[in-house]
Structure 1
Amino acid sequence: MSDAKGDNLLIVDDEEINRAILANIFSSEYTILEAEDGQAGLDAICANTNTLSAILLDVVMPRLNGIEVLRRLHQVGLTERIPVFLITADVGSETMREAYALGVMDVILKPVVPYVVRRRVNSVVELFRARHRLNAEVERQRDQLLLQAQQLAEMGIGMVEALATAIEFRSDESGEHVHRIHDITCYLLQNTPLGQGLSPDQIRQIGLGAVTHDVGKISIPDAILNKKGRLTAEEFELMKSHTVKGAELLSRIPQMREHAAYAYAYDIALHHHERWDGGGYPHHLVGDQTPIWTQIVSLADVYDALVSKRCYKDAFSAQTAMNMILGGECGVFNPKLLKYFQQAEPLLRKFYPPMRGVG
């Protein structure tokens, strides 16, 4: 339903003469709707909820009295949306107290004075209209700001994804490496107990973070990045710095910092070369000091590197790669992670084109 208010004014009174007097006062400004008792009034309100500018409500009526109508309107929050005026000869303090407690805007005594009741009703109606316009504008601006923030965040993550892919091409690779790391990470989190406790949205954000794991390689010279032989100790130290450089790069992109994936991306970039026994870098984290999603990216990165052709090596077969990983030739990994990775590995081959490395 639309929340837009029309120009209908509902008069609920069991006395026809009273309805006629009030209708005469407001007929030049509103379309007048009438109801002869509380139940008919409720029916009219339900049928015209979104077009009512105000409700003028008598107290003493058959079937449902005005206070009972007020109670029902208050229960569903309509007294917050439509101004209700009690038009009554009953000036009892209990009636007035309850009426105001139930959200009535004003209590107008019978017999009404036309210019007084017109002024009081119109002032409140205009106040409600102004509030509605303000709320609508606030909603519009909020939606616009949210859309702009989303577009900026998507632009930021898109730029980082493009950068990550460009780095893969720069290192003489196909550019598919980052996408396979994303797919393997998400698959393991979605289809094994490793992702227990993570929502689908969190897994999606982790997947985005996995794409950016190697952005720090932008700082590594081509001579080292594409060296065909073994790196010297000095060159390896420089290569290792891509983890810290990657985290620093992500932290300097404002749109990235505002993205829900940022915390995952930052940790993955910084710690995807840590190992279960503390033998990794840059911080020599031990065990679950490295979050499970970063551990998964780390293992996926190693597996993909082994089964893919690189400038310094040919591709290993999938079985050889698994034997090397399980044998500790690529560092020590979480035993639980290895268990589920080994179970899933035959299915992970679907992320690769038919080739010797994964056959």
Structure 2
Amino acid sequence: MEDLRKVILIVDDIELNRAILNELFYRSYRVQEAANGIEALKAIEKFGDQIAIILLDVVMPELDGFGFLKELKSRYKNKQYPVFFITAEDSDEIINRGYDMGVDDVINKPFNPSIIRRRVKNTIELYERRFRMESIIEGQTRKIKEQAEKLRETSLAMVDTLSTVIEFRDCESGEHVKRIRTTSKVLMEALGDADPAYRFPAATVEEISVASAMHDVGKIAIPDHILNKPGKLTVEEFEIMKEHTVKGCEILQSVDILRNSDSFVYYYDICRWHHEKWDGRGYPDGLKGDEIPIWAQVVALADCYDALVSERVYKPAYSHEKALEMIQGGECGQFNPALLNAFAKVSDILKQQGGDKIRSETVQ
């Protein structure tokens, strides 16, 4: 029958010392002996994680205790073996050097058998508890990551479904949502490259890109005769249309999975303020300048560009060049100058991703 007890590795060039230590531990542990550091390394290769502790002499031929510790650290960077120096050397320099190299304890020869047995036992149990705790934490962390990924996938599916429903009700293709996400991501990255003040981690840029898909969720609450009116809206109708920003926020707040997510601030800000303008002439709150969160500014520009190059019930599709001219010329309201510069730098990318292709498809 296989002996499943933990292994104690005794490393000492004097056979009598190994025999004395063996006598102390063989009843509770499997004992392996090595006469020098080289033999000890071979034993570690053989027994690996079965080794519970290493009892190490300092002065040995071929590879001494310090040389062994150096090799141990080099070869097994991701593993930790408890190590006791058991040595007749008692100089502070030797002892401190041992601790600096990762030794857990130093026991001087001659030693008290009862004391060394207890100290070894306590250290082994301490390491086992720590390893169990690390294993539990690793398992819990893995579960949390898996749950977070499932939650993220659920959220994305819900966002895609809701945003697509909105677009079809608005007589739009679901492709509009995808283009807004792509354009927002390109603009965020370009803005961050140009100005460190607007630089965000890639994960945050992705969250903002996803949140942009819900910018018009409030249109669910707008009557069809206003939402799809082919002509210009009256003053009264436009006031009703503007309510989609506020109503959208109310809808978002009613969705627990979004409200409780770390990304909710992006969903809310984009939904409420993607029609604000740099000069304060937007709606619903008349914010101006940097009062408008940069992610809301980016989605506002992405939405404006896509609206220009797409056919709508109230207008034909403009070319990429015409849309660029109108935005830069202020015909669509004022935008952050830094954002306009970033927009100009990536305009060719936007043209390749959509631009004239959208226009050519919509006018056929």
Aligned match of 2:274: 272
Aligned to 2:232: 230
| CA contact 1:96–1:107 (8 Å) conserved in 2 | no
- Pick closer, same or farther for the CA change 1:234–1:67 going to 2, 3 Å: same
- RMSD of Structure 2 on Structure 1 (CA): 3.9
* Secondary structure of the structure 2 residue equivalent to 1:244: helix
Alignment of 1:27-106 (within 5 A): 27=26, 29-37=28-36, 41=40, 50-62=49-61, 81-88=80-87, 103-105=103-105
Distance apart, 1:15 and its partner CA: 1.0
2:335 match: secondary structure: coil
CA contact (8 A) 1:318 1:357 kept: no
CA distance in 2, matches of 1:296, 1:68: 59
The alignment status of 1:177 with 2:176, answered yes or no, reads yes
Alignment of 1:312-351 (within 5 A): 312-342=314-344, 344-349=346-351, 350-351=353-354
Q: Distance in 2 between matches of 1:77 and 1:6?
A: 22
CA spacing shift, 1:244–1:40, aligned 2, 3 Å: same
Q: 2:215 matched to 1:213?
A: yes
Question: For the residues of structure 2 that align with 1:60 and 1:187, how far apart are their CA atoms?
Answer: 64
Give the deviation of 1:181 after TM superposition: 1.0
Residue 194 to residue 206, structure 1, CA distance change in 2 (3 Å): farther
Amino acid aligned to 2:334: V
How far off its partner does 1:144 sit? 0.6
Q: Give the match for residue 129 of structure 1.
A: 128
Count of equivalent residues: 354
Query: Which residues of structure 1 form unaligned runs of 5+?
Result: none
How far apart, in 2, do the equivalents of 1:235 and 1:67 lie?
A: 83
Show structure 2 runs of 5+ residues with no match. Answer: none
CA contact (8 A) 1:85 1:108 kept: no
C-alpha change, 1:266 and 1:194, in structure 2 (3 Å) is: farther
Structure-2 separation of matches of 1:124 and 1:175: 63
Q: Distance in 1 between matches of 2:242 and 2:359?
A: 32
Displacement of 1:44 after TM fit?
5.1
Segment drifting more, 285-294 vs 131-140: 285-294
TM-score, length basis structure 2: 0.78
| Alignment partners' CA distance in 2, 1:98 and 1:314 | 79
Q: Which amino acid aligns with 2:212?
A: A
The CA deviation at 1:173 is 1.2
Q: Secondary structure at the match of 2:277?
A: coil
SS of match in other structure, 1:32: strand
Q: Which residue of 2 aligns with 1:290?
A: 292
Shift of residue 343, structure 1, vs aligned partner = 5.4
How far apart, in 2, do the equivalents of 1:133 and 1:231 lie? 67
Deviation at 1:210, TM superposition (A): 1.6
